[in-house]
């Protein structure tokens, strides 16, 4: 990893746990080997306005776009073995492996601040469609695909009935995943199994949504359908 935690932290650790920056919380979680909970991360993120400002940029440089917490990782881990597509620096797969989940992380590593650190030594540098062909039969995880990317809908189309897709990001018209992704979920018969909030920066509302291809949506776990 190129950046040291010291160069990234906000320097407010001395103020105590309740005032830790998101970076300080993540560094502590990594060193303790146990991810922080939703509440702790969300309270810390909420202290940074202006979409997270400088802190968000420093966070993304080290960990990526999505903010993983214990509850969300536990839910995703239930769906292993997994194939993570567009994994960036591999931080989500890093945590999922810590939880004993069998996960292969892939990303073509286009340029960007979120691709500089490597949390895994074996991340496979391929695009999503190629990865799906290389590792068939695994359930799929995608976290914060770009809002202009076409690969999420290509993946949805190619997944087989019964396969599960875990998507972390904003809803339609949000900052990630284009509308074509959501419409192809409907066209390809995906139904929602779960939805829950994930820690989010100011003016961002991220969710984990779990879908299965060929599954009717359950109204109990589907407060809004999005498609």
Ligand X SMILES: C[S@@+](CC[C@H](N)C(=O)[O-])C[C@H]1O[C@@H](n2cnc3c(N)ncnc32)[C@H](O)[C@@H]1O
- Closest to ligand X by CB, 56 or 194: 56
Q: Give residues 136-175 in contact with ligand X (rule: CB under 6 A).
A: 143-146, 149, 151
In whole angstroms, how close is the CB of 19 to ligand X at the nearest point? Answer: 25
Q: Give residues 80-139 in contact with ligand X (rule: CB under 6 A).
A: 85-88, 107-110, 114-115, 127-128
Given the rule CB under 6 A, which of 1-9, 61-69, 75-83, 207-215 is the region that contacts ligand X?
A: 61-69
By rule CB under 6 A, what count of residues binds ligand X? 21
**Rounded distance, CA 166 to CA 143, Å?**
8
Give the distance between the most distant pair of CA atoms in the chain: 52
37 interacts with ligand X by CB under 6 A: no
- Closest to ligand X by CB, 65 or 190: 65
**3-state SS class at 207:** strand
**Rounded distance, CA 91 to CA 196, Å?**
20
- Closest to ligand X by CB, 41 or 222: 41
**Rounded distance, CA 42 to CA 206, Å?**
11
**Rounded distance, CA 33 to CA 98, Å?**
7
- Closest to ligand X by CB, 143 or 185: 143
**Rounded distance, CA 203 to CA 179, Å?**
19
> Among all residues, whose Cβ is closest to ligand X?
64
In whole angstroms, how close is the CB of 200 to ligand X at the nearest point? Answer: 12
Q: Quick one: which H or E segment has residue 53?
A: helix 53-63
Burial class (CB in 10 A: 0-12, 13-18, 19+), 76: buried
> What residue ranges bind ligand X (CB under 6 A)?
64-66, 85-88, 107-110, 114-115, 127-128, 143-146, 149, 151
């Amino acid at each position: 990893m190129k950046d040291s935690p010291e160069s990234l932290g906000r320097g407010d650790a001395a103020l105590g746990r309740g005032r830790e920056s998101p970076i300080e919380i993540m560094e502590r979680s990594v060193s303790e080997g146990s991810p922080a909970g939703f509440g702790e991360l969300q309270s810390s993120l909420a202290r940074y306005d202006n979409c997270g400002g400088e802190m968000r940029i420093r966070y993304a440089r080290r960990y990526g776009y999505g903010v993983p917490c214990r509850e969300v990782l536990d839910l995703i881990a239930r769906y292993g073995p997994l194939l993570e597509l567009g994994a960036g620096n591999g931080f989500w797969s890093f945590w999922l492996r810590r939880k004993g989940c069998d996960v292969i992380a892939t990303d073509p590593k286009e340029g960007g601040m979120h691709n500089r650190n490597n949390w895994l030594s074996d991340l496979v540098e391929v695009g999503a469609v190629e990865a799906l062909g290389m590792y068939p039969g695994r359930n799929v995880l995608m976290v914060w695909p770009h809002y202009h990317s076409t690969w999420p809908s290509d993946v949805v189309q190619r997944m087989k009935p019964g396969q599960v897709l875990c998507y972390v990001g904003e809803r339609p018209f949000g900052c990630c995943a284009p509308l074509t992704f959501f419409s192809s979920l409907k066209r390809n018969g995906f139904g929602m199994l779960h939805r829950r909030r994930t820690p989010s920066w100011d003016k961002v509302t991220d969710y984990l949504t779990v879908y299965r291809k060929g599954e009717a949506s359950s109204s109990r776990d589907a407060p809004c359908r999005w498609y």
